[in-house]
Amino acid sequence: MKEITYREAVREAMREEMRKDELIFLMGQDVGPYGGEHKVSGDLHSEFGEWRVKDAPISEQGIIGCALGASITGCRAIVEIPFMDFITLPMDQICNQAAKYLYTFGGQASVPMVIRTAMGGYIRAAEQHSQC
């Protein structure tokens, strides 16, 4: 079995699913040509283009809100929030909207959305970026 890094495994899993389903898109800060804050999205932008690998402004609430809306309408969002420290900002959309949508509509609707984030102090980025 080929050995790859966790970063490469996540990227290849996203690539595989994006090749299977044209409704899947990736959205987050610097996930486009830059390849992601932690370089997880890598070259996905060059393969899938800006319509499916979307750079977003630094607004965690906005990113999750856009992904939630797109998911409700039938797309399948993969969202990258670069640092776990900032996942609390969009918790209203996550807890009060995305998590309850299935039950609000009696099991007749879903929110196919994946939220990825990173945790840890390996980059020595101080208190707002590493929880260390």
Residue 129 appears among annotated catalytic residues: yes
**25: in domain:** yes
* CATH code at position 32: 3.40.50.970
Confidence at residue 1, expressed as pLDDT on a 0 to 100 scale: 85
1 lies in a domain?
Answer: no
What is the model's pLDDT at position 129? 64
Q: What is the 3-state secondary structure (H, E, C) of the chain?
A: CCCCCHHHHHHHHHHHHHHHCCCEEEEECCCCCCCCCCCCCCCHHHHHCCCCEEECCCCHHHHHHHHHHHHHCCCEEEEEECCHHHCCCCHHHHHHHHCCHHHHCCCCCCCCEEEEECCCCCCCCCHHHHCC
pLDDT confidence bin for 13, thresholds 50/70/90: very high
30 or 83: which leads in pLDDT:
30
Q: Which of 37, 45, 60, 80 is catalytic?
A: 60
Instruction: Check 3, 37, 47, 129 and give the catalytic one.
Output: 129
Q: How many domains does the chain have?
A: 1
Q: What is the pTM (predicted TM-score) of this model?
A: 0.88
101 found inside a domain: yes
pLDDT digits 0-9 by tens, 21-45: 999 999 999 999 999 988 999 999 9
pLDDT value, residue 24: 99
pLDDT per position as a tens digit, 86-124: 999 999 999 999 999 999 999 998 999 999 998 865 666
pLDDT of residue 41: 96
pLDDT at position 131 over 90: no
Confidence class for position 128, pLDDT limits 50, 70, 90: low
Domain with 53 in it: 6-130
